[in-house]
Amino acid sequence: MQETGLRNGAFGADKFGLKKLKEVRWNLGAPQLYQYSLSSGEAVLSADGALCADTGEFTGRSPKDKFTVRDASTEKMWWAGNQSITSEQFDALYADFLTHAEGMSLFAQDLYGGADPSFQIKTRVFTELAWHSLFIRTLLIRPEASDLASFVPELTIIDLPSFRADPKRHGCKSENVVAIDFARKIVLIGGSYYAGEMKKSV
């Protein structure tokens, strides 16, 4: 597996279970992500130079496709209007995400969620698309370059729009899914090209 960009070499994609990847492009800046987005056909430039991408079926979040693992850590949370899946269903989804990612070139961003150091969470986001990586690095807080070599995430998101969930196997409602395991601090997003699912999950 080829890896490029600044990163913590001791805590790479393999720590999340991502193996047999073609490449991981770590913490790329806006110019590089623009270039990848355009060269791969993910997006086009407007007349004013803005990057424009088609999010397909979903032009906003899909709350009915968001699920939280119901376990000891979440049992007492307010469940009205929230949907649950079992740990076993999440395990199956997680395993299928990892298999789906094999052979892919992924983009990874190490970022901070929250400006207050008392509540700030170190967040690592793996994306299938370059423009999704650009989106999340714009909305969250970027560490100093010198901090990336020791960055260890407290929350990990993997966003694979090309993944299609199986409602029977994964306990969801459709092929689109956002699944959160608070105990393991993992968010899995599949089936939607709408980048706002990442931001809202953080």
CB 189 within 8 A of CB 178: yes
The CATH number given to whatever domain includes residue 25 is 3.40.449.10
The CA-based diameter of the chain, rounded to the nearest angstrom, is 52
Q: How many domains does the chain have?
A: 1
The per-residue pLDDT for 185 is: 96
The per-residue pLDDT for 62 is: 76
Domain that holds residue 40: 2-201
The per-residue pLDDT for 59 is: 67
For residue range 43-93, what is the model confidence (pLDDT) as tens digits?
999 999 899 998 878 766 777 889 999 988 888 888 777 888 999 999 999
- What residue ranges of the chain have pLDDT lower than 70? 59-60
The per-residue pLDDT for 198 is: 94
The per-residue pLDDT for 83 is: 84
CB 13 within 8 A of CB 21: yes
The per-residue pLDDT for 154 is: 97
Distance CA 162, CA 156 (A): 19
Tokens 């070599």 sit at which residue? 149
SS3 115: coil
Please name the residue ranges forming H helices in 40-120.
Answer: 87-101
